[in-house]
Amino acid sequence: MREFDYQRANDVPGAVALLNADPNARFLGGGTNLVDLMKTGVERPDRLVDVRELPLDQVESTEDGGLRIGATVSNSDLAAHPDVRRRYPALTQALLAGASGQLRNMATVGGNLLQRTRCGYFTDVASPCNKRVPGSGCPAREGAHHNHAILGASEHCVAVHPSDMGVALAAFDAVVSYETADGLGELPLEEFYLPVADTPHRETALPSGALITGVTLPAAPVAARSRYRKVRERASYAFAIGSVAAALDVQDGVVRDVRVALGAVASRPWRARAAEAVLSGAPAGEASFAAAADAELAAAEPLPDNAYKVKLIRNLMVSVLTELTEEAAR
Amino acid sequence: MAPSSSSAVTLRINGETHTLTVDHRTTLLDALRERLDMTGSKKGCDHGQCGACTVLLDGRRTVSCLQLAVAAEGREITTIEGVADGEQLHPVQQAFLERDGYQCGYCTPGQICSAVAMLAEHEAGWPSAVTGDVRPEAAPPPLSDEEIRERMSGNLCRCGAYVSIVRAVSQAAGTETKAANASGVEARDTEARV
């Protein structure tokens, strides 16, 4: 690992100033991803600005009935928070489906959003990778890609975003708040992650030097009946090969409100807008759910070894929406 | 402040204060093992994937291989060397002994530290990924074998002693199932061998 300077920030403006004073500095939150990437040489910062003790560790209700979540709230505190469990249960389920008890205690909300892909070519500094070294190429299309993207990828990168938490946040229209030396800003999660295009190394729309200060969830009564289901290659403690966060409100057998987002299918948590459009006002039932899944997956461009994901995601969507419908009928 | 690659830090470990200068690259695990002669915490993968290095920070389990020592200043650190009360073993330690919750023993300090904190998490009402109803109004899930397995999934055991590990954690939780009780003969046999 390369030597680096370490500074602990006491307040948000101080943290931003410390970062901006060094062009090759990084913010350190829980360190569960960054420290690991520093060990492997993927990340080589000159300075770490430790933001874990900033006063951004609260979860508060907003006036309109939503939640404002501080950026340094740990994944485990967020999962255990009564308002999250009551009003956005799929978010608790998504958080608990990620990593291990140890890592969830360390990992922060802001860091979770900014974690890097686990694509084996990205994490291996001996391999070419357009995300790590722009223009060096992407071996994944011809190589190991069984857990790579089926939606929104490009010829330059087919890596997936690994977050579970982000999938639930995408379903619930989360808005990311940040601060720069110039002031405050906000980005809806759907605009937070940039399209892959030919710049896979540019992952977010955050301005240079910005510190994520929190995430706001708008009020969403539909989210009270929500669910996250994750499929992985072992029973626990593994990244998803496919996941679904969904919320459903059914009245008189008709879908009144619905949210669907998908994980491990794209370079970002994937809000399934096409599926939602099919479902809105449709009869709640397997035929509608399958049609919705097919509408979303019509754009899928699977590779030889990840084509299974199309059917996996289709089945997951139908299954989760069916369970939510049955739950509503009880 | 001028950039520097090392800092003097004061670490609170098992109730004692240690002051040392660390290269910023030093993980808490390496500081414990290589600088402070506390070799109970084990280095398995060194990438946060196996749990052998689990210690408690402010009472919460963390992997010390991804925790920079310099960033641990100000936290209350508890290692396997500090979980017992003097000569009196922690109930989780005692249960691992009685239930033979290990084979080679390399992952055991991490398993025990993890279990100590996991029981506190459960006591605090935290749900897990296998909890059916996560809403706060739902009754907290009993610590079934399935719940223990999920909550302990961050601690790998390459010997595959999981059956006994689950039994030990279950005993420590005081929620031993009838099935586990029925195997009491086996446990006594183990004690006899020891």
| Domains contained in chain B, CATH given | 6-82 (3.10.20.30), 91-193 (1.10.150.120)
User: What's the whole-number mean pLDDT along residues B47-66?
Assistant: 98
Give the pLDDT confidence of B147-185 residue by residue, as tens digits: 999 999 999 999 999 999 999 999 999 955 444 444 443
Q: Show which of residues 45-104 on chain B sit within 8 Å of chain A, judged by CB atoms.
A: 46-48, 51, 54, 57, 60-63, 66-68, 70-71, 74
Give the pLDDT confidence of A265-302 residue by residue, as tens digits: 999 999 999 999 999 999 999 999 999 999 999 999 99
Give B188's pLDDT tier (boundaries 50, 70, 90). Answer: very low
Q: Is the pLDDT of residue B187 over 60?
A: no
User: What's the whole-number mean pLDDT along residues A68-77?
Assistant: 98
Do the Cβ atoms of A100 and B149 come within 8 Å?
Answer: no
Tell me what the pLDDT averaged over chain B comes to. Answer: 91
Residue numbers in B near A9 (CB within 8 A): none
Q: How far is CA A204 from CA A36, A85, A217, in A?
A: 21, 28, 19
Considering only alpha carbons, which residue of chain B is nearest residue A97?
B129
SS3 A230: strand
Considering only CB atoms, A236 lies closest to which of B46, B118, B129, namely B129
Considering only CB atoms, A85 lies closest to which of B3, B7, B136, namely B136
Most A-contacting residue of B42, B79, B134 (CB-CB within 10 A), to test interface: B134
Q: What is the pLDDT, as a whole number, of residue B140?
A: 87
Residue numbers in A near B147 (CB within 8 A): none
- How far apart CA B64 and CA A114 sit, in angstroms, is 21
Do the Cβ atoms of B66 and A31 come within 8 Å?
Answer: yes
Query: What tokens appear for B49 in the block?
Result: 């994937």
Do the Cβ atoms of A101 and B61 come within 8 Å?
Answer: yes
- How far apart CA A144 and CA A228 sit, in angstroms, is 27
Tell me what the pLDDT averaged over chain A comes to. Answer: 97
SS3 A41: coil
User: What's the whole-number mean pLDDT along residues B82-107?
Assistant: 97
What ipTM goes with this model?
Answer: 0.97
Q: What is the pLDDT, as a whole number, of residue A329?
A: 85
- Which has the closest alpha carbon to A114: A181, A40, A202? A202
How far does Cα B181 stand from its chain's mean position? 24
Do the Cβ atoms of B48 and A28 come within 8 Å?
Answer: no
Say which residue, B123 or B180, is predicted with more confidence.
Answer: B123
Say which residue, A37 or B186, is predicted with more confidence.
Answer: A37
Tell me the shortest Cα–Cα distance from B166 to chain A, in angstroms. Answer: 15
Terminal-to-terminal C-alpha distance of chain A = 56
For chain B, what's the residue count? 194
Considering only CB atoms, B153 lies closest to which of A46, A50, A237, namely A237
Q: What is the pLDDT, as a whole number, of residue B181?
A: 46
Q: Is the pLDDT of residue A156 over 50?
A: yes
Do the Cβ atoms of B127 and A92 come within 8 Å?
Answer: yes
| Sheet bearing A25-28, strands edge to edge | A5-8, A47-50, A25-28
Count the Cβ atoms, other than its own, within 10 Å of residue A81: 20
Identify whether the C-beta of residue A52 lies closer than 8 Å to the C-beta of residue B66.
no
Q: Is the pLDDT of residue A313 over 70?
A: yes
Q: What is the pLDDT, as a whole number, of residue B186?
A: 44
Nearest 5°: the CA angle A104, A28, B20 is 100
| Amino acid letter, A72 | T
Q: What is the pLDDT, as a whole number, of residue B42?
A: 98
Give A161's pLDDT tier (boundaries 50, 70, 90). Answer: very high
Give the pLDDT confidence of A317-326 residue by residue, as tens digits: 999 999 999 9
Residue numbers in A near B7 (CB within 8 A): 6
Residue numbers in B near A27 (CB within 8 A): none
Residue numbers in B near A7 (CB within 8 A): 1
Q: What is the pLDDT, as a whole number, of residue A47?
A: 98
Range in A38-42, A106-110, A189-193, B177-181 the model is least confident about: B177-181
DSSP E strands, chain B = 6-13, 16-23, 54-57, 60-63, 76-78
- How far apart CA A159 and CA A166 sit, in angstroms, is 16
Query: What tokens appear for B135 in the block?
Result: 């809403």
Do the Cβ atoms of B154 and A28 come within 8 Å?
Answer: no
Q: What is the pLDDT, as a whole number, of residue B189?
A: 39
| Domains contained in chain A, CATH given | 5-49 (3.30.43), 228-329 (3.30.390.50)
